[in-house]
Amino acid sequence: MDDRKPPNSQRAASKTAHTSDSLRLRAKARQIRLDILDMIYTAKGGHIGGAFSSADILTALFYAVMRFSPETLATGEGDRFVLSKGHACEGYYAILADRGFFPRTELASFLQYKSRLMGHPHPKIPGVEVATGSLGHGLSVAVGMALAAKLDGRRERVFCLAGDGELAEGSIWEAASAASHYRLGNLTCIIDRNGLQISGPTEEIMDPEPIEQRFAAFGWHTTDVDGHCFEELTAALHRTHGEQPALVTAHTVKGRGVSFMENQAGWHHRLPTVEEYHQAKAELKGHPC
């Protein structure tokens, strides 16, 4: 097994997000939330709460942290991404379209008959490598990707975005063991810690805390950040920690960006009425972020 130091430990210092970068990322995130709203409103389906809570994490990853484009995916020279919380696919699709994997106009086909853009990602969608949506699967797949890179001595990082509700899945902990066992310093798992799952607060359904102590006990390096602050997100995501896999707990607000959706479990997958749609759109456009 290759013991080469994982990449990006030097990149961190030089790439700490500056204010101008944060402004750029905020503008991107605003556009992505508007795309999410339109997709869900048009399709009359989707998971708006988690899509909004994870929108800033995805923006930081795809526009500031990862080397990821149609070219890097084709040549195998970029970083890799697995959306373990596959139901938060709307923002992922909006970003893939924006990054040139498929036309932006295709977003309007979300959930439509014969569309590629189903309610959970799958590899027939350009840019998506693996199907996700059954919770608890993504981290194992990411471990396999990170292990392959390590075996081949490739300077590749693998990022996995998981939900806090899915930490109840046993397979997450099988993968957590394997990641530290194989010393996968090139693997980063981000938890979208919005505190709510479909039936209510995570603490009431199946308490995932203490998340960081649990991962630390499995041999991971852990950090927690404000999941809506680009400075904190990009700084934490750029950093690697030798051979330790990294866990970044991103504290987020479910439904973030629209006042009446924020912190409401009901907005896990509720659909906006026409009035709510217009109000949400107005808030997102004028949102100070």
Partner 1 sequence: MAEPNRKAFSDTLLALAEANPDILALTSDSRGSASLNQFASALPRQLIEAGIAEQNIVGMAAGLAKSGKVPFVCSPAAFLSMRSIEQIKVDCAYSGANVKLIGISGGVSYGALGATHHSLQDLAVMRSIPGLTVVVPSDNQQTAELTSQIAYMEGPVYMRLGRQAVPSVHGPHMPSQLGRGLMLQDGQDLTLIGAGEVMPGVLEAAHMLEDGLGAAVRVVEIHTIKPLDEEIIMAAAETRAVVVVEEHSVHGGLGSACASVLSQFCPVPVCILGIPDEPPVTGSQSEIFRHYGLDAEGIHSRIAAFWQQLQRQRRRG
Nearer to partner 1, 177 or 259 (CB): 177
DSSP 86: G
Q: Is 192 helix (H, G, I), strand (E, B) or coil?
A: strand
Nearer to partner 1, 215 or 267 (CB): 215
Distance CA 216, CA 195 (A): 20
Nearest to 45 by CA among 99, 95, 90: 90
> In the structure encoding, which two tokens stand for residue 88, read together?
């938060």
Instruction: Tell whether the torsion through CA atoms of 204, 206, 211 and 217 is positive or negative.
Output: positive
Q: Where are the alpha helices (DSSP H) in 127-273?
A: 138-152, 170-181, 202-206, 211-217, 230-238
Cis peptide before 126 (omega within 30 of 0): no
Residue 46 CB, nearest approach to partner 1 (Å): 20
Give the chain's radius of gyration (CA, Å). 18
Residue 49 CB, nearest approach to partner 1 (Å): 23
Nearer to partner 1, 112 or 177 (CB): 177
Nearer to partner 1, 17 or 142 (CB): 142
Residue 120 CB, nearest approach to partner 1 (Å): 9
Distance CA 192, CA 215 (A): 15
Residue 245 CB, nearest approach to partner 1 (Å): 13
Nearer to partner 1, 133 or 165 (CB): 133
Residue 27 CB, nearest approach to partner 1 (Å): 32
Residues contributing to the site for partner 1 (CB under 8 A): 1, 76, 80, 82, 122-123, 129-134, 136-137, 139-149, 151-152, 170-171, 174-175, 177-178, 181
Residue 196 CB, nearest approach to partner 1 (Å): 25
Q: Count CB atoms within 10 A of the CB of residue 204.
A: 11
Nearer to partner 1, 108 or 168 (CB): 168
Nearer to partner 1, 160 or 191 (CB): 160
Element (H, E) at 280: helix 274-286
Distance CA 152, CA 178 (A): 18
DSSP 241: B
Residue 137 CB, nearest approach to partner 1 (Å): 6
